Structure formats: C-alpha cells, structure tokens
Amino acid sequence: MEKMIEATRRLVNELCSIDTPEDTRKHEIKHEINQLLDEMLSLEKQESESSEEAQVVTPFVVSVKNGGEIDYEKVKKQFGCKGIDESLIDRVERLTCRKAHVFLRRGFFYAHRDLDKILDRYEGGKKFYLYTGRGPSSESLHLGHLIPFLFTKYLQDAFKVPLVIQITDDEKCIFKNLKPEDTKKLGRENVKDIIACGFDVTKTFIFSNFDYVGGKFYENMVKAGTCVTRNKIDGTFGFTGEDPVAKYSFPAVQAVPSFSSSFPHLFEEDIPCLIPCAIDQDPYFRMTRDVAPRLGYSKPALIESKFLPALRASGKNGKMSASDANSAIYINDSAKDIKRKINSAVTGGQDTLEDQKKYGANLKEDIPFQYLSFFLEDDAELEHIRKEYGEGRMTTGEVKNRAAQVVTEVVEKHRKARAAVTEEMVNAFMAVRPLPSMFE
C-alpha cells in the first residue's frame, strides 16, 4: 500500500511538471493514477474484510485460518464477480436446448463475469470462443484437476464453439522451480488427460507456451504488459520486490489467450471468449478485463467454480492437496483405493446408529455426500439420498458405498479414454492449424 501511495505521489508530481496542454503522457498518468487508486481501494477492502477470518484466495495460495471452510460468497464479493442464479441457469438451458451440466445446476460453478453478455451474443447469432488452461506440475492428476475440463467439454458441446487450451509449462518453471524439459514432458502427459475428456479435434487447439508464444501472441503480451504497472501486479498477485522478474511477466502470458487476435490461424475478427476456471484464477482475468478496452479488444467473460473439497480435514478448507495422497482421489487410483479413501473421508453422520436415526446426518459437512452431489447425474436419486440420509433413515456406510461406486465409474471411464489417446492425437490437437468447421 505504501509503495502505491508513493507511486501515486510521483505521478502527481510528474503531472504538475507537464505544461504543454496536449501532452499524451498526461492521459497516461491519469489512467495510471486511477489504476493505483482502484487497486488501493480494493486492497483496503480486502484487508478490512479478511481481518476477522483471514481467508486468502489467490492463484498461488488458498488458505483459511482456524481450519474453517472457504466462504465462497465472500470470495465472490471480494473479487467483484456475480453469482449464478436459477434464472441464468434456465437461460443457458433454453439457449442450448439441453439440461445444464450437474456442475452448473448443483451450484459448483457458482460465479461469473459477463456470462449474460455472452448469452446475449449467442442468442443474437454472434460468435465467441472458449479459453481454459492447465499448469503442468504433476503427472498424476486428481479428480479436482479434471473438473474444469469436464465442464469445458460440456460447454463446447452445448454451444458448438471453438476452444483454446493453454498449457502453461513456463508457469511451473517460474513458480515451482521445475525445469523446462520436465514441465514440457508433464505438459504432453497432461494433454492426454485433457483429450480424454472428449474434446472435438475439429474445434480445439491446445498449445504449450514454450512452443507457441511468438508472433501475434507475443505482440499482445507486449501491448498488455505496457498497460500494467509493477504496483498493479504487486497489488493483484501479492508479489514483492524480492520476487524474480519472470513472475511479473507471466500474468500477460495467461492474459492474452483471452484476445482472439493472439490466434491468427483461427480468428479474423475480434470476438470475446468465455473462460471456465476455478475462482482462484480470477485475478489474472480481472487484470485482463482492465487492459482489454485500452487495446481495443473485447473483455473476456468468466464462469467460475468452487474447489472440489478434500476428503480429509487436512485440506477441507482448500483445494484437494497434491501432497496428502489420501486426501484426494487420483485418476490412477484403483476401485479399492477409492473405496478405502472414501471410507476414511470426513462425514456428517452421527457417531452411533441410534443417534443417526434420531438426528440424521449433517450433509453440509459430509464429504461423501458432497461428492455424490458433484458426480451423481440422477437428480431423483440424489434427492432421495439427501432426504433419507439427512433424516437418518440411511447410514453413512451406505452413502460412502454409493459415493465410491459413482466416483469409480467416473475415474474408470476416464482411464479407459486416456489409454486410447496416442502421441499422434496429441500432435493433431497441438498443430497450429485453421479449424474450418469450428462454429458448426
């Protein structure tokens, strides 16, 4: 904050020393001051709001003090996103002529920016595209990693639109100290998992930053980077002067796939994109939406999810952690592993059978039930379980069994699809090529 105040003071001094009325630097300074003031205001708001509970959600840290759960409403408010309500979901269903994905109709994707505007465009026969990404930091993906891709696949099918997927093999070198050789290899392995989610090769372009950055994409990075000050990046991402400069250049890399001109082999005109992602990625796109109009580009729209809760207390408050192998379900887990892990999950059931019959389960705290609500497609069965388990006529054991079955099905379906993905398919998805029927 102090640094920002100092920077503002410097700018004001500079402004006062300009005496030619038409100096363009004046307008730049005005914009920079306004940016700084906005960022200071939002910092102050965040500080005052988070002081009671100290909840932090950034692309790099997700934590809640005192072992509490993430207050997603608060995150949404802090970030300035809108909620997704019934009427918006109805509208998606009407426009796409299909039932909304479970992740949408059960409130897992719960926040948005300008989704209504994307729907207006779609309704008016105008184009948009989808953009999402993955930072390859490990070979063994867990269920939480698949969620944005399963959802993106639904969006692609429902709206029949092109999709670009960014593999940030550079990001994981910068932020996780991995070697480029390793992240590139991991990236290719992760691409196989992504392809296994069922994307249409005639509508999907997957790219590695190390391979693709250049040309128009790089031009856009430079243009975007020119509009953002170091103070702004520090305020948005929490970097300090101690951080390596590569970190400062990365936000522009994640920002510019939001601009259609970064893909001259795909798009000829400026069209907006819709970004499905977890809410922790919002800071990147807040920044992107801020610079877009200055570059004459459309602002990206967003549809944002919560995190899949960890099975056990260690990560209950955050994302499924990759470090505690028992707190998450991995794509390579066997049916037996899954059963064991779900059996040891945190539940909201009562300690004794009598109490369970008397009081019923606390569903909000029950991880197996929550997993059912994310992965069991059948609304009627879920309702049945909600009622029976919540009112004590169903036992925790039964719910765990059903959850293990449903999750095993999802994982096995994925594993089968993954085994059928070849190196040639990876090359096909990653080739820089036009996609002639991408809107059909």
Question: Which residues are near ligand TRP by CB under 6 A?
Answer: 59, 132-135, 166, 168, 171, 254, 275, 277, 281
**What is the rounded CA–CA span in Å between residue 40 and residue 325?**
40
**What is the rounded CA–CA span in Å between residue 368 and residue 397?**
10
CA-based nearest residue to 263, from 130, 434, 439, 121: 434
Give the start-end residues of each E strand in 107-242: 109-113, 129-134, 163-167, 204-208
Judged by CB, which is closer to ligand TRP: 152, or 370? 152
What's the min distance (Å) between Cβ of 26 and ligand TRP?
A: 35
What's the min distance (Å) between Cβ of 168 and ligand TRP?
A: 5
Judged by CB, which is closer to ligand TRP: 281, or 356? 281
- In the numeric block, which tokens belong to residue 261? 């001109």
What's the min distance (Å) between Cβ of 145 and ligand TRP?
A: 8
What's the min distance (Å) between Cβ of 257 and ligand TRP?
A: 7
- In the numeric block, which tokens belong to residue 390? 């919540």
Amino acid at 431: A
What's the min distance (Å) between Cβ of 394 and ligand TRP?
A: 37
Judged by CB, which is closer to ligand TRP: 35, or 281? 281
DSSP 309: P
The DSSP secondary structure of 105-129, one letter per residue, reads: HTTSEEEEESHHHHHHHHHTT---E
What's the min distance (Å) between Cβ of 90 and ligand TRP?
A: 26
What torsion, rounded to 10 degrees, do the Cα atoms 122, 123, 124, 128 define? Answer: 0
**What is the rounded CA–CA span in Å between residue 104 and residue 93?**
10
Pairing of the two strands 109-113 and 129-134: unpaired
Judged by CB, which is closer to ligand TRP: 166, or 204? 166
Judged by CB, which is closer to ligand TRP: 132, or 298? 132
Judged by CB, which is closer to ligand TRP: 112, or 134? 134
Task: Specify whether the backbone of 326 is left (phi greater than 0), alpha (psi in -120 to 50) or beta.
Answer: alpha
**What is the rounded CA–CA span in Å between residue 209 and residue 293?**
24
| Residue 305 CA to its chain's centroid (Å) | 6
What's the min distance (Å) between Cβ of 175 and ligand TRP?
A: 8
Judged by CB, which is closer to ligand TRP: 255, or 372? 255
Output the residue with the shortest Cβ distance to ligand TRP: 133
Judged by CB, which is closer to ligand TRP: 254, or 396? 254
What's the min distance (Å) between Cβ of 346 and ligand TRP?
A: 26
